[in-house]
Structure 1
Amino acid sequence: MKYLVTIQHPAQAQFYRHPVSELRDRGHDVRVLVRDKDVTTDLLDAFDIPYRVLARSPNSVGGLPLMQLRYEYRLLREAWRFRPHVMTSVGGLEISHVAPLVGARSVAFDDSEWTPSRRITLPSLDAVWTPRAFAADRGTHQRYYDGYHELSYLHPDRFEPDPDRLRAAGVDPDDRYFVLRFVAWNAHHDVGQAGFSPAAKRRLVAELERRGNVYVSTEADLPDEFEQYRLPVPPHLLQDLLYYADLYVGDSQTMATEAAILGTPAVRSNSFAGDGDMSNFVELEEEYGLLHSIPDEGAAVDRALELAADPSSKAEWRRRREALLADKIDVAGHVVSVLEREGERARRRPAGKRGVAGWVRDLLGRWVE
C-alpha cells in the first residue's frame, strides 16, 4: 500500500515518527513531504526518516498564503507521480485539496479547535480523527479516540526517558532546572494572538535562576540577553529534558501538553488560555490537574514561582500522570490501524471510481507532469 504523509511543523514530525516507521516495517511504501519550519528537518534526520522538502516557512504571516499555494502545487505534482492510496496530515488543509485530484483517500488528525482553515478542508476529507474531548464539530466524517497527539510519541510504549542521553549533552538530570519555551506567533492560526511579553520573560528567568538552572527554547532567534540560557540539548532530546525538569513554563501549546503528559509541573500562558480554551488544555487542567493555563501573564509567573518553590510538586504531578495514562491509548498504534484500514478501502475501490472524472484527470495529468 502507498501512503503519503505531509508534515508542516516539528510537532507533526513527532506525531508521525512512529506510524511512519511502523508502516514501513509492515512493508508499505511511505513517502514523507515537508514544509521546513523551525527544527522539523532536524527531527526527521534524527529519527532517520527520509523526506523531501517542498517549501520553507515564510518570514512573516503575510507570506503564508503564497507559501501555502506553492507548497500545495508541489504536493500535487509529487502525489500525481506517486499515486498514493492514502494521504494523511495533521489538520488536513493541504491533503483536502490534493487527495481528491489524485484518487487518494484523505485522513486528517486534528486537535486544534481554533484553526480557521478547517472550514475549507472538511467537505473533501474522508476521515477526521480528533481526541475524545474535542469540542468542535468536524462534520459527518469525524471520529474520536482517547488520547492527545503528543501521546503518539510520549505514551510509555513509545517513550522511555534516558538520563544518560542528557548527561552526554551536559545536563545532570538530578540537578534542579526549569525549561522555558516562547513561540514566534507567526503561523496562520496565530494571527491576533500573543504570549509572554519581554518583561515577563525577563522576570521568569531572573526569579527561576535563583532556584536552579534555566533553559530557554524559542521558535524565533534567541535574543542576545537569553543566549546563556540556550537549550543545551538537540531537538530530539527535548522530551528527555522535559521529563526530568522541575518545571515547565511557556506560551507554547505543544510543549505545555508534552510537559503535562510527562508529569512535569506545567504553566502555560497566552491569549488562547481562559474562556473558550481548547479542549485538550481544559481536560489536562480540570480532569487531571496536570496543567495551569493562565491568560494573565503576571498571574502565570506567580503560579510558576509557587510551583518552583514547592518541593512536593514534581511527585504530585507524577501521580496525576498515572491517572491520565490509565485513561489514554497508544496513539501511534491507533494511527497505524486507521491508515491501514483506509488503505484497504482505497485498494478495494474500483479503479474507474478512484479520483475525479477521467477527462479531468487527463487534463490535470498533462498540467502537472
Structure 2
Amino acid sequence: MRVIVTIQHPGHVHFFKHAIRELESLGHEICVFARENEVTVELLERAEVDHEVLAGESNSLFSLAAVQATYEARLLRRARRLQPDVITAIGGVAASHVASVVGATSVVFYDTEHAKIIKNLAYPFADIVCTPDCYQGDIGAKQYRYPGYHELAYLHPNRFKPDPSVLDDIGLTPNDTIVVMRLSSWDSSHDIGQGGFDNPIDVVDRLEAAGATVLLTSEVDLPAKLEPYRYNLAPDRMHDLLAYADCFVGEGATMAAEAAILGTPAVYVNTLSLGYMTELDQEYGLVFSYNGADRHARSLERAVSIIEDDDQSTWQRRRDRLLADQVDVTDVIVRKVEMAGAEASSNRSAPTPNPG
C-alpha cells in the first residue's frame, strides 16, 4: 500500500509520527508532504521523518489562501506521479481534494467543530472523517467516531514517557512550582474575531505572586517585559515540561489538552468552546474552560487556587480514569488507513462488469 500523509501544522507531526513508523514497519510505502508553519519542519527533522516541503508560511488569511492553493497544486502533481492508495491528513482540505482527483481514498481526522471553512472545503470530498466521540456534530455515514483525543496519538503512555532531565535543562527542580503559559496568534481561519487574556503581563505578575515560575510559549511577539519568560528549549521537549509542570494556563486548546492528558491541570482561556475541551472539563475535571467576558479574571483565580492547593494526587486519579476510558489513537490511525488502503486496492483489482 502507498500512503501520502500531509502535514500543515506542528501538531500534525506529533499526531502522525508514530503511525508513520508503524505503517512503514508493516511494509507500506509512506510519502510525507508538508508546508512550513511555525516549527513544523524542525519537528519533522527531529522526529527523523522523511518529507518534502511543498509550500511556505503565511502571515494573513489572504496569504494563507494563496499558500494553500500552491500546496494543493503541488500535492496534486506528486500524487499523480505516486498513485497512492490513501491520502490522510488532519483537516484534510488538500488531502480530500487531491484524493478525489487521483482515485485514492481520503482519511481525514478532525476535532475542531467551529472551523467552518475547513469543514466546508474538506468534508464533502472526504471518504472517511474520523472524529473523537466527543465531537459535537453529525457528519453522516462517512463519520467514524472513536474514544480518544488527537493528543492521545502521541501522549498515551504507550507512546510517551516524560524525561525528567528537562528540569535540569531549564534550571529548575521538582520542588519548584512551574506554570507553562501559552499565547495564541489568532490568525487561523477559525480564530478570527476570537480572544483570550486581556493582559498577558497581568497574568504573569499574578502567577509569580502566587509563587510560580512561569515559562511562556507564544505564537506572537512578546512585550519586552515578558521576553525573559520565553521557553527556549527544543520544541519537542515541551511535552516533557508539561508533564512536570504544576499547571498550564493558556489560550491554545491543543496544549491545554496535552497538559490534561499528562495529568497537569489546564486553565483554558478562549472565547471558543470545543467538544474535547468540554469533555476534559466536565467529565474529567482536568481542564477548566473560561470562555465568557470575565474569562481573564476567573481564569486567574482558578490558576492561583491550583498553585496554592498543590493537590497532585487528585490530578493523577483523574488522569488514570481518563486513560482507562480512552484509546491509543495511533492504533486508530493505523487501523483506519490500512482498512482504507485494503478497500481501495480491492476496488482497483475487481473485474469490470461485462455490460453484455
Within 5 Å, which residues of 2 pair with 1:87-98? 87-98=87-98
CA distance in 1, matches of 2:70, 2:58: 11
Aligned to 2:104: 104
| Aligned-partner SS, 1:306 | helix
**TM-score calculated relative to the size of structure 2:** 0.94
- CA shift, 1:175, in A, is 2.2
CA distance in 2, matches of 1:253, 1:124: 27
Task: Indicate if the aligned counterparts of 2:130 and 2:145 stay in contact, CA closer than 8 A.
Answer: yes
Matched, 1:311 2:310: yes
Aligned to 1:136: 137
Aligned length, in residue pairs = 347
- CA shift, 1:280, in A, is 0.5
Aligned to 1:159: 160
Aligned to 2:205: 206
- CA shift, 1:221, in A, is 3.2
In structure 1, which of residues 321, 324, 327 is the aligned counterpart of residue 325 of structure 2? 327
CA distance in 2, matches of 1:94, 1:264: 35
CA distance in 2, matches of 1:15, 1:70: 24
- CA shift, 1:164, in A, is 2.2
Aligned to 1:357: none
| Aligned-partner SS, 2:22 | helix
- CA shift, 1:120, in A, is 2.8
Within 5 Å, which residues of 2 pair with 1:192-231? 192-197=193-198, 199=199, 201-210=200-209, 211-231=211-231
Give the percent of matched residue pairs that are identical in Structure 1 and Structure 2.
42
Code of the aligned partner of 1:28: H
Q: 1:328 to 1:128 in 2, by over 3 A?
A: same
Aligned to 1:284: 280
CA distance in 2, matches of 1:111, 1:243: 23
- CA shift, 1:88, in A, is 0.2
CA distance in 2, matches of 1:192, 1:176: 34
Task: Indicate if the aligned counterparts of 1:215 and 1:232 stay in contact, CA closer than 8 A.
Answer: no
Provide Cα deviations, 1:321-349, integer angstroms capped at 9, x if missing partner: 00100001110011111111111111111
| Aligned-partner SS, 1:349 | helix
In structure 2, which of residues 279, 289, 295 is the aligned counterpart of residue 293 of structure 1? 289
Aligned to 2:189: 188
CA distance in 1, matches of 2:167, 2:158: 20
RMSD: 1.7
Matched, 1:148 2:146: no
- CA shift, 1:169, in A, is 5.1
Q: 1:299 to 1:340 in 2, by over 3 A?
A: same
> What stretches of structure 2 of length at least 5 have no aligned partner?
none
Task: Indicate if the aligned counterparts of 2:33 and 2:51 stay in contact, CA closer than 8 A.
Answer: yes
- CA shift, 1:165, in A, is 4.1
CA distance in 1, matches of 2:212, 2:300: 16
- CA shift, 1:171, in A, is 4.1
Code of the aligned partner of 2:276: N
Code of the aligned partner of 2:148: G
- CA shift, 1:62, in A, is 2.4
Aligned to 1:5: 5
Provide Cα deviations, 1:26-59, integer angstroms capped at 9, x if missing partner: 2211011112111111111111111111112211
CA distance in 2, matches of 1:318, 1:38: 32
Task: Indicate if the aligned counterparts of 1:270 and 1:297 stay in contact, CA closer than 8 A.
Answer: no
Aligned to 2:271: 271
Task: Indicate if the aligned counterparts of 2:92 and 2:122 stay in contact, CA closer than 8 A.
Answer: yes
Code of the aligned partner of 1:305: V
- CA shift, 1:203, in A, is 1.3
Task: Indicate if the aligned counterparts of 2:212 and 2:307 stay in contact, CA closer than 8 A.
Answer: no
Code of the aligned partner of 2:336: V
Code of the aligned partner of 1:329: V
> What stretches of structure 1 of length at least 5 have no aligned partner?
355-369
CA distance in 2, matches of 1:53, 1:257: 28
In structure 2, which of residues 337, 340, 346 is the aligned counterpart of residue 348 of structure 1? 346
